[in-house]
């Protein structure tokens, strides 16, 4: 039977199927009120892992999660990401892994999320202009100060993961990965070998899985949606995989959560693996 929980960093237990908050609207109005309802419904449904980032609205996404969920229920993990900044609204977002900048972004996240410690803080992207050891060293210092609990990375290669682990313990990796896009299979294998949480972003290929004949066939047989098949496949793929599907609609949220109850047989998995050209 597929495990429904995972211990990030070996000790922080979460439900494997999480929620990506990126799509939540943050501007005033009905869409914002709907976003608050979606975030609250996610927790009502038992989700304990919520993903956000400094880049999502320049911190506005962190703020809306705090508005919706603070004071946070026990066991809820809100993980955020730093390392991409925009000096002003008129400028483009850019990679910024300078230690002072990372520290400032973490301090902002602490304030916006209304917490004293971020239990899982991920580097959104590696800044090629700053030595990796300096970027991770800054996060390690913040961890040692008690402002970060665990450190993760995003959109990296297996070689970069190995290099990062020379500087600091890595608790999670967040890379693009789904049934139809397995470019980062080597990274998943490295995470599995080391017991590192792997959080696939774009876990359902933005609906592309529904255009795949094999996925449609499995969904029809099980009387579920293609999205649920794609999420169930991820949960079956490896015990370290923690999908974080995002949505701004409660019906889609409930559909995603229900994917945890979808049981794929070995025959289903063989069909799906062949259809996507698995290694």
CA distance 197 to 206: 22
Active-site pick, 19, 35, 49, 56 = 56
177 carries an active-site annotation: no
Which residue numbers are catalytic? 56
């Amino acid at each position: 039977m597929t495990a429904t929980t995972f211990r990030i960093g070996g000790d922080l237990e979460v439900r494997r199927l999480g929620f990506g908050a990126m799509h939540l609207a943050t501007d005033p109005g009905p869409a914002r009120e709907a976003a608050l309802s979606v975030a609250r419904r996610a927790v009502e449904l038992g989700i304990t892992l919520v993903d956000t980032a400094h880049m999502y609205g320049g911190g506005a996404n962190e703020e809306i999660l705090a508005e919706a969920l603070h004071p946070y229920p026990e066991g809820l993990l809100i993980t955020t990401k730093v390392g991409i900044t925009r000096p002003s609204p008129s400028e483009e977002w850019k990679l910024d892994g300078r230690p002072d900048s990372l520290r400032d972004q973490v301090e902002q996240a602490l304030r916006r999320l209304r917490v004293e410690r971020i239990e899982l803080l991920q580097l959104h992207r590696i800044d090629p202009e700053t030595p990796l050891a300096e970027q991770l060293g800054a996060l390690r210092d913040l961890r040692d100060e008690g402002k970060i609990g665990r450190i993760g990375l995003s959109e990296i290669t297996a070689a970069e993961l190995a290099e990062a682990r020379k500087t600091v313990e890595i608790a999670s990796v967040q890379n693009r990965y789904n049934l139809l896009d397995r470019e980062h299979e080597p990274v998943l294998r490295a995470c599995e070998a080391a017991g590192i949480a792997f959080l696939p972003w774009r876990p359902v290929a933005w609906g592309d899985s529904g255009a795949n004949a094999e996925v449609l066939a499995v969904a029809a047989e099980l009387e579920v949606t293609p999205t649920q098949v794609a999420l169930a496949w991820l949960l079956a793929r490896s015990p370290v995989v923690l999908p974080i599907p995002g949505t701004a609609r409660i019906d889609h949220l409930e559909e995603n959560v229900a994917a945890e109850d979808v049981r794929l047989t070995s025959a289903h998995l063989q069909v799906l693996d062949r259809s996507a050209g698995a290694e």
